Structure 1
Amino acid sequence: MENEYQILESAIKKAGRRAQVIRQSGLSVTVKGRQDFVSEADVSVENELKEVIHALFPEDGFLGEESGLVLGTDTKKSGVWVIDPIDGTTNYLQGMDYWCISVAYVVNNVIQLGFVYAPDRDEFFFAQRGKGAYLNGAPLTIQEPEKGQAIIGVGRSNRRPLQAYFDLLVVLDTNNVEHRRFGAGALMLAHVASGLVHGYFESHLNSWDALAGLLLIEEAGGRVPNFLENDGLLNGNPVWAASSQLWLDLDHVLN
């Protein structure tokens, strides 16, 4: 299987470079909703990755942000590849570097693999259940922040009331916790694993935004929710993931 993973890593990096080229040459963009865009790069990357994965793992299914769910040929044995072709599309369109490709592999409701690639930042994250988390080949281990120095990433889901987001900021301020919002949940989760931030909270994430990053955090020694419960694969769920002690310190005020 290691050879297949290497082929997939190469395909993800190639798709990321293609997205960069498409952006440089001009984009066609469709508006899905308020501040919710899909570009030709989203569609191109998703189709490209699905083609490679299908060639490597023909029995498996897919869940893509743009194309939806396609079941595998053997639903009892096969897994599901969950793809967000470009997380942080608005950042990508604006020429910012904070966007990524996210790919996760789920078998029997358990995340087995996670890939997060941020092409503009040259950051390739990989995690395999039971075998650790890595950034550009270097192993990741989450460290606890010093007391009073915690910084957590936050996301704003338009599937939840705006007031809930305001309330979150008040809770964080009351508990002397700094926050950052960069507009790409999958990459912010990966950055919890690498220590750029110490945790991430969002009142609702879709599975294609969450799964790869959650496995990265778990394999780096952090605490994550059981995201896939209550049909989280299709319906999404809230996310609170962090270094272990910080998770315990804030869980009662965030949930």
Structure 2
Amino acid sequence: MSEGKDIPLVGGKSFTAVAINCAAKAGEWIKTKLGNHTSLSIKYSAQDLVTEVDKGAETMIRNLVGTHFPHHSFLGEEGVEPGPEASAKALQSVQDAEYLWIVDPVDGTTNFVHGFPFFSVSIALAYQGEVIVGVVYDPMRDELFVAEKGKGAYVRGRRMAVSGEAALRDSLLASGFPADPNYAQPLNMKQLQAIAPQVRNVRSVGSAALHMAYVASGRVSGFWEVGLNAWDLAAGALLVKESGGKVTDMQGNDYHLGVRHVAATNGRIHDELLQALQQAETAGT
């Protein structure tokens, strides 16, 4: 990563170092709980789950951040009521914060519950609404993805770059199956049905933050999903941008913390993917 003098600091403390420390400590604790959680609750839908591990990891991260930066604001998934309206309201309540930590303690809770080893800790720091630090940690593979605004993005200490595919037909894409059964999931499935024949293949492994990290590291050419939240996307969006990729909403507007329907690509296939998504959305209407 960048030299210490280039890492964002406040009061002599590195934002990035704190984010990495929080992600690593939470991730290692989560890993010890795999197959060992004792509570399971349904939030917004039968596909939207939470365990005591999600809550415990978020509390751990919140406390660690608060120790270093007690005056910073904090937006964590488990501190927000379920559903898109509550998510939008929670983001609006902190959008004017100078420094805002945005955290998904276990991105991929359903995977975690079933013992499917694909989940992550996602931590971002926004300054005046713009993400300046993004960390995604995969504890099962001990892979740490780190980005600093203007400094590049790294995995295992190596600088990342997006893939080179220039056309959808040559691309491996990723998407998800949203927890909202009324709007987001049907639309995402409609898009999937339209896009799958146009690409090399599509993967869906249940963690938006890791999907974004995989776009940044060139493992997939692009990712799209409907109905996500700031804590799903903020860290990953910076990873993609700092790796040379592009992140927008599905109309092509630049990513910001309020984006819920996202497209992230290597940049080369972005316009073609957006066109395919928009055609799928309007087909049959």
Fold shared, TM-score > 0.5 on shorter chain: yes
Where does 1:1-255 land on structure 2 (aligned, <5 Å)? 1=9, 3-32=14-43, 33-68=45-80, 69=90, 78-145=98-165, 147=167, 148-159=169-180, 160-225=183-248, 226-228=254-256, 232=258, 236-255=259-278
Cα offset for 1:36?
1.4
Question: Are 2:184 and 2:226, in contact at CA under 8 Å, matched by a contact in 1?
Answer: no
Question: Are 1:8 and 1:52, in contact at CA under 8 Å, matched by a contact in 2?
Answer: no
Question: Structure 1 pair 76/195, CA: closer, same or farther in 2 (3 Å)?
Answer: closer
Question: Structure 1 pair 253/222, CA: closer, same or farther in 2 (3 Å)?
Answer: same
**Residue-by-residue CA offset, 1:78-136 (whole Å, 9 max, x unaligned):** 21100000000011111122100001111222111101001001110110110001112
1-structure distance, mates of 2:197, 2:265:
18
Question: Structure 1 pair 80/100, CA: closer, same or farther in 2 (3 Å)?
Answer: same
Letter in 2 for 1:178: N
Match of 2:87 in 1: none
Question: Structure 1 pair 192/58, CA: closer, same or farther in 2 (3 Å)?
Answer: same
Cα offset for 1:209?
0.4
Question: Are 1:84 and 1:209, in contact at CA under 8 Å, matched by a contact in 2?
Answer: yes
Question: Structure 1 pair 80/179, CA: closer, same or farther in 2 (3 Å)?
Answer: same
TM-score, normalized by length of structure 1?
0.89
Moved more, 168-177 or 100-109: 168-177
Mark the runs of 5 or more structure 2 residues left unpaired by the alignment: 1-8, 81-89, 249-253, 279-285
Moved more, 110-119 or 62-71: 62-71
1-structure distance, mates of 2:197, 2:163:
23
**Residue-by-residue CA offset, 1:117-172 (whole Å, 9 max, x unaligned):** 01001110110110001112110011222653201101222332543233212321
2-structure distance, mates of 1:63, 1:162:
25
Question: Are 2:98 and 2:129, in contact at CA under 8 Å, matched by a contact in 1?
Answer: no
Mark the runs of 5 or more structure 1 residues left unpaired by the alignment: none
> Percent of aligned positions with the same letter in both sequences?
30
1:237 aligned counterpart, secondary structure: coil
Question: Structure 1 pair 107/7, CA: closer, same or farther in 2 (3 Å)?
Answer: closer
TM-score, normalized by length of structure 2?
0.80
1-structure distance, mates of 2:64, 2:142:
22
Cα offset for 1:219?
0.3
2-structure distance, mates of 1:92, 1:186:
14
Question: Are 1:144 and 1:244, in contact at CA under 8 Å, matched by a contact in 2?
Answer: no
Letter in 2 for 1:96: F
2-structure distance, mates of 1:4, 1:163:
39
Letter in 1 for 2:211: M
1:241 aligned counterpart, secondary structure: strand
Match of 2:4 in 1: none
CA RMSD for the aligned pairs?
Answer: 2.1
1:164 aligned counterpart, secondary structure: helix
